[in-house]
Amino acid sequence: MSAVAMVLWDVAIVLLWFVGVGLGLTIWVRWLQPARSWYYRPAEAPGVAVRVATATVTAGAIGIARIPVAVVVVALGFMTLIVIIIGVPLTLIAYRDRLRRT
């Protein structure tokens, strides 16, 4: 695989990961509609422009660094696992709170 193709794959994988996590969090918020609490503060969430800029800069930096695609995939896989580990208890708390509110 050429160097340019590796850079493009790195950038594409990172951008897709950011889109997936962002979409997952948006679905989570719409489904649970959590009340403002210690784990959810909508006013403090970064805006779309900040998230897009972060994803673009991160993807660009990883592409420029020419990190192997396998390393990028493994790193993003571990970060996804961390998001899931943190998200499961928060989802249970938010769901319990949602049941109490209804």
* Full residue range of the structural domain in which residue 27 is found: 3-101
Q: Is the pLDDT of residue 5 over 80?
A: no
pLDDT level of residue 61 (50, 70, 90 thresholds):
confident
Would you call 67 helix, strand, or coil by DSSP? Answer: coil
Whether 98 and 34 have beta carbons less than 8 Å apart is answered as yes
Q: What is the pLDDT of residue 1?
A: 60
Q: Is the pLDDT of residue 67 over 90?
A: no
Other CB atoms within a 10 A radius of the CB of residue 62 amount to 20
What is the pTM for the complete model shown?
Answer: 0.71
If one counts the domains in the chain, the total is 1
Q: Is the pLDDT of residue 78 over 90?
A: yes
What amino acid occupies position 80? T
100 Cβ partners below 8 Å, 6+ apart? none
Residue length of the chain = 102
Q: What angle do CA 23, 30, 88 make, to 5 degrees?
A: 75
